[in-house]
Structure 1
Amino acid sequence: MKKIGYTTGVFDLFHIGHLNVLKRAKLECDYLIVGVSTDELCMEAKNKKPIIPFQERMEIVEAIKFVDEVVPQVNYDKEEAWNNLKFDKMFVGDDWKGTDKWNKIEEDFKKLNVEIHYFSYTAHTSSTKLREILEKI
């Protein structure tokens, strides 16, 4: 049976950390769906508009050979995403592991036979660090 994987992100200022997450996720599933956060969701959640517009971020992620499908992420409701996409595995950065929010999501998804797979965060490169450098220029 085909294993469907799902991960999400802003993917602003696309960098090697983003590529590594997508590459590693694809190794764990047969079909990888990636949710790209809308500009509105970023503003609502982080009060920051991405530097790269939503449509361009979607195109960048679609061009990655490890990605089979790209969908807009309009909210953080993971159960709603599962209802729409029916994935078997969800990939998340390990900076969320052990948090109350993700412990609850793990518990809820266990009932749906969805495995949460945590990947280590790329500490040396992040869009936040790149943004800080750009703002100094």
Structure 2
Amino acid sequence: MKTVITFGTFDVFHVGHVKLLKRAAALGDTLIVGVSTDQLNFSKKGRFPVYSEQDRMQIINSLRFVNFCFPEESLEKKAEYITYYGADVLVMGDDWKGKFDQFNALCEVVYLPRTPSVSTTELIEIIKSEV
């Protein structure tokens, strides 16, 4: 059995999220997803997500190829999460390429290409400008 873990905010859920999670799931038998808490997102991006962490986790948990999701409370705990959940593979979008290589000692690190022309931040900006 191979366990895959990935992390993200998954705010304003879109097809790019679906494609990334589906490709991550295909790399193993179990997919575990860390969903950034509202507070973590605020500390990273200076704004709270559009959807609450409870709503975002409900969306992620509803996907048939996700086995489990949990609240990611701290970027500094990634090694703990990888170890705790027994992950064999860490998957991240290639916009993070090289930033998680230090975890190669714990598991295989894979960077998957992002879906072109789809970005939550851009979608939020477009929506805000339309209002």
User: Percent identity over the alignment?
Assistant: 40
For 1:116, the aligned partner's letter is: V
**Which blocks of at least 5 consecutive residues in structure 1 are unaligned?**
none
SS of alignment partner, residue 71 of structure 1? strand
After superposition, give the CA deviation of every residue in 1:59-104 in whole Å (9 maximum; x if it has no partner): 0000011100011000112212123211000001111213xxx2xx
TM-score by length of 1: 0.89
For 2:124, the aligned partner's letter is: R
Counterpart in the other structure of 2:68: 69
Give structure 1 regions of 4+ aligned residues with deviation exceeding 4 angstroms: none
Provide the rounded CA distance (Å) in 2 between the counterparts of 1:18 and 1:111.
Answer: 27
Matches within 5 A, 1:1-137: 2-77=1-76, 78-98=78-98, 102=99, 105-106=100-101, 108-112=102-106, 114-136=107-129, 137=131
Provide the rounded CA distance (Å) in 2 between the counterparts of 1:55 and 1:119.
Answer: 26
**Which blocks of at least 5 consecutive residues in structure 2 are unaligned?**
none
Provide the rounded CA distance (Å) in 1 between the counterparts of 2:58 and 2:48.
Answer: 18
SS of alignment partner, residue 83 of structure 2? helix
Equivalenced residue count is 129
Provide the rounded CA distance (Å) in 2 between the counterparts of 1:84 and 1:27.
Answer: 21
SS of alignment partner, residue 75 of structure 2? coil
Provide the rounded CA distance (Å) in 1 between the counterparts of 2:54 and 2:37.
Answer: 9
For 2:24, the aligned partner's letter is: A
